């Protein structure tokens, strides 16, 4: 009996030891199985540190970009953006110009008097400009412009004409040249607020030469001398102009308004003196300098 008991105890002890060894061996696998999890895309990660490694910086930035896209550049923003954005009104393409200044005759337009019997000559005067058109882009546009130039006739020329005509009164006179022209314009920005431009074109020109003499007119209580036109000549012809200018966005870099100054060369194909136009001077050349505002 004693031997059987000892044998039984020995067998139970061996089984217990074997079971303990199996349990200890299985514990790491059980712990790993408890912490492992499977993601939606099949990736396995065993800890909080492991799953963070699957989110790289590119994924993070892409997500942020999708959630909050950067705003589009506003009007006038962005380098090389020469077109008007669709969000602006169609009236933002409208081009306007107005200005005034002085005009200098050049070339044979300055000649007159005894040495130039077929020309009366001109001296300094003034000019007025107005126009409207369309800006295709922020750099390129085209305008229909009205220009008026009034130059004086030199006093020496008027004195000679008065003597030749046997007049006992001094003569006055002026030469008016007005035009309707189509003029493209190309802007050359230097900074956000300043730049230059090139413009020019051609069209219809009309030149009118007036001579005046003082006449007495009643003015309520007494008589006054008023310049009255006593002779004139006119001609219609074609002409060309080309010029350069500078502008300044004085009201802010996002404003369409620009203060400008420009100088142009104007060539008018006017006729020489004839029986129908005794005061024709031939081709005229003018140099108007204008100051004003553009849109």
> Residue 127 is part of a domain; what is its CATH number?
2.40.160.20
> For the residues 186-210, what does the mean pLDDT come to?
95
Q: How confident is the model at residue 154, as a pLDDT?
A: 86
Tell me if 65 is assigned to some domain. Answer: no
Quickly state the pLDDT bin for 183 (edges 50, 70, 90): very high
* The residue to which tokens 């020489």 are assigned: 272
* The residue to which tokens 């790491």 are assigned: 28
Tell me if 60 is assigned to some domain. Answer: no
What's the total number of domains in the chain? 1
**Is 270 or 66 the better-scoring residue by pLDDT?**
270
Tell me if 49 is assigned to some domain. Answer: no
Tell me if 203 is assigned to some domain. Answer: yes
Tell me if 5 is assigned to some domain. Answer: no
Tell me if 279 is assigned to some domain. Answer: yes
Is the pLDDT at 53 greater than 50? The verdict is: no
**Is 24 or 53 the better-scoring residue by pLDDT?**
24
Give the C-alpha separation, 169 to 225, whole Å. Answer: 11
Is the pLDDT at 26 greater than 70? The verdict is: no
Residue 84: both structure tokens together: 């008007």
Find the domain containing 248 and state its range.
90-294
Tell me if 75 is assigned to some domain. Answer: no
> For the residues 242-261, what does the mean pLDDT come to?
94
Pairing of strands 258-268, 94-105: unpaired
Tell me if 176 is assigned to some domain. Answer: yes
């Amino acid at each position: 009996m004693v031997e059987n008991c000892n044998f039984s105890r020995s067998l139970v002890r061996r089984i217990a030891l074997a079971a303990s060894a199996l349990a200890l061996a299985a514990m790491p696998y059980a712990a790993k199985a408890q912490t492992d999890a499977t993601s939606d895309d099949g990736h396995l990660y065993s800890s909080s540190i492991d799953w963070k490694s699957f989110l790289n910086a590119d994924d993070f930035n892409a997500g942020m970009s999708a959630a909050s896209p950067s705003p589009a550049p506003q009007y006038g923003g962005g380098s090389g953006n020469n077109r008007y954005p669709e969000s602006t009104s169609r009236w933002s393409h409208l081009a306007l110009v107005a200005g005034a200044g002085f005009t200098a005759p050049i070339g044979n337009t300055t000649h007159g008097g005894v040495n130039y019997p077929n020309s009366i000559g001109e001296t300094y005067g003034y000019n007025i400009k107005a126009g409207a058109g369309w800006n295709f882009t922020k750099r390129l546009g085209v305008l229909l412009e009205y220009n008026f130039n009034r130059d004086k006739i030199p006093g020496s020329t008027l004195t000679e004409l008065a003597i030749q005509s046997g007049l006992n009164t001094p003569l006055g006179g002026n030469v008016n040249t007005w035009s309707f022209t189509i003029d493209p314009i190309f802007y050359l920005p230097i900074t956000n607020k300043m730049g230059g431009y090139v413009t020019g074109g051609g069209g219809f020109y009309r030149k009118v030469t007036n001579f005046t003499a003082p006449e007495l007119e009643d003015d309520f209580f007494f008589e006054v001398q008023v310049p009255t036109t006593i002779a004139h000549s006119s001609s219609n012809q074609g002409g060309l102009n080309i010029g350069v200018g500078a502008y300044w966005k004085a009201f802010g870099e996002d404003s369409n308004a620009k203060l400008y100054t420009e100088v142009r060369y104007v060539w008018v194909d006017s006729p020489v003196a004839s029986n129908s136009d005794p005061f024709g001077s031939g081709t005229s050349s003018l140099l108007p300098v204008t100051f004003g505002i553009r849109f």
